[in-house]
């Protein structure tokens, strides 16, 4: 029996988008299978794996070996459940086009319709073309050896791309683009008794030099913010900085929820939101439901200010 949809996810954000696509396409639970291949087996990944709306799903955390990265990814194929090795999927949905097991699955299902969806802000970046065409030589060799489709071939067969961003900023070339909302339609917008109607949310950053880190901390001291969301690689913990929002966040673990999910949750509570991000792709995800401000460090070469400007997100320099 054919299954309507297989979703291949790697990150919590991709899980959020997968669930939005399932809602948008009105797929029944029994029509959906899913593979979740995260970089680790952290609590956050397990939390979002549980949220993935599929009747059959498998959690296969990436295991680094002494072999090459490509062979480590290929090892995921050996750990996939039996149902994932069958030719039975009408549609395959994915965000990480370069994931090696994806080529294997597509080779097993040559008649499947291919759908891509956002991988953070990557599909709006000029780097997406490099990502498609600049595969490592060992990966190209292994795909040819196993007769698996290359990245360019997979990209050429994508029919739909699902995005929460404006279609004009998508740099890949799907035949059709479908605009989604980051807001979960199953969350009813509710008015609640609260002390504050406007919240300021800071999205932390990471991997800064000592000089930039000092400027980062100095800038934070100039803002009156309610919630600080630490970057997963920053090392610190997310925190509530205002007593007026404690009731709104009752039962919410800030260190489990990703920023896109939390901002969507706050918007569902009829709160007005201002979100500051340090060249963060999260801003592109939540611009429809929050006032977003991009913060860039002066004299840094690479940032997404041009993409954000196309979305109506202003940038400030510090």
pLDDT digits (tens, 9 = 90+) for 132-143: 777 778 888 888
pLDDT tens digits, one per residue of 99-115:
899 999 999 999 999 99
Q: Look at residue 49 in the predicted model and tell me its pLDDT.
A: 97
Average model confidence (pLDDT) for the chain? 86
Q: Do 144 and 286 form a contact (C-beta atoms < 8 A)?
A: no
Token readout for 134 is: 């600049």
Across residues 233-239, what is the average pLDDT?
76
Q: Look at residue 230 in the predicted model and tell me its pLDDT.
A: 87
CA neighbor of 257 nearest in space, from 35, 14, 48: 48
pLDDT tens digits, one per residue of 60-101:
998 776 667 777 788 899 999 999 999 999 999 999 888 899
More confident residue, 247 or 19: 19
- Answer yes or no: is pLDDT of 177 > 80: yes
pLDDT tens digits, one per residue of 34-64:
999 998 899 999 999 999 999 999 999 987 7
Q: Look at residue 70 in the predicted model and tell me its pLDDT.
A: 74
- Answer yes or no: is pLDDT of 122 > 60: yes
- Answer yes or no: is pLDDT of 1 > 80: no
- Answer yes or no: is pLDDT of 302 > 70: no
- Answer yes or no: is pLDDT of 295 > 70: yes
Query: What superfamily does domain 3-179 belong to in CATH?
Result: Glycogen Phosphorylase B; (3.40.50.2000)
Across residues 180-203, what is the average pLDDT?
70
Q: Look at residue 52 in the predicted model and tell me its pLDDT.
A: 96
Band of residue 187 on the pLDDT scale cut at 50, 70, 90: low
Domain boundary assignment for the chain: 3-179, 198-317
Q: Look at residue 310 in the predicted model and tell me its pLDDT.
A: 86
Across residues 308-316, what is the average pLDDT?
90
Q: What is the DSSP string of the chain?
A: --EEEEEEE-SHHHHHHHHHHHHHTT--GGGEEEEE--SS--HHHHHHHHH---SEEEE------SS-HHHHHHHHHHHS-GGGGSS-EEEEEES-TT-HHHHHHHHH-TTPEEEEE--TTGGGSTHHHHHHH---HHHHHHHHHHTPPPHHHHHHTEEEEEESS-GGG--S--SEEEE--SS-TTS-------S-SEEEEEE------HHHHHHHHHHHHT---SEEE--TTT-S--EE--GGGTTTTTT--TTTS-HHHHHHHHHTTT-EEEEEESS-THHHHHTTTSEEEEEE-TT-S---HHHHHHTT--EEE-
Q: Look at residue 136 in the predicted model and tell me its pLDDT.
A: 79
């Amino acid at each position: 029996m054919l299954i309507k949809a297989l979703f291949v996810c790697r990150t919590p954000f991709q899980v959020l988008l997968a669930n939005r696509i399932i809602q948008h396409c009105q797929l029944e639970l029994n029509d959906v299978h899913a593979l979740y291949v995260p970089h680790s087996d952290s609590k956050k990944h397990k939390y979002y794996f549980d949220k993935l709306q599929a009747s059959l799903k498998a959690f296969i955390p990436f295991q680094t070996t002494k072999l090459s990265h490509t062979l480590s990814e290929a090892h995921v194929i050996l750990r996939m459940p039996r149902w994932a090795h069958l030719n039975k999927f009408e549609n395959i949905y994915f965000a990480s086009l370069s994931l090696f097991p994806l080529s294997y699955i597509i080779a097993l299902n040559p008649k499947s319709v291919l759908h891509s969806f956002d991988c953070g802000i990557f599909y709006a970046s000029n780097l997406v073309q490099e990502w498609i065409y600049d595969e490592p030589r060992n990966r190209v060799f292994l795909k040819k050896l196993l007769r698996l489709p290359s990245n360019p071939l997979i990209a050429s067969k994508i029919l739909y791309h699902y995005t929460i961003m404006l279609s004009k900023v998508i740099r890949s070339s799907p035949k059709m683009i479908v605009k989604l909302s980051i807001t979960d339609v199953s969350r009813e917008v509710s008015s609640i008794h609260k002390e504050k109607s406007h919240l300021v949310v800071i999205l932390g950053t990471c991997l800064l030099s000592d000089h930039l880190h000092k400027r980062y901390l100095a800038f934070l001291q100039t803002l009156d913010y309610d919630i600080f969301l630490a970057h997963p690689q920053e090392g610190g913990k997310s925190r509530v900085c205002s007593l007026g929002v404690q009731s709104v966040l009752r039962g919410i673990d800030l260190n489990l929820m990703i920023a896109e999910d939390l901002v969507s949750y706050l918007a569902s509570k009829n709160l007005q939101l201002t979100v500051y991000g340090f060249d963060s792709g999260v801003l592109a995800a939540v611009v429809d439901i929050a006032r977003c401000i991009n913060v860039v460090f002066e004299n840094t070469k690479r940032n997404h200010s041009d993409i954000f400007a196309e979305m109506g997100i202003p940038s400030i320099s510090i």
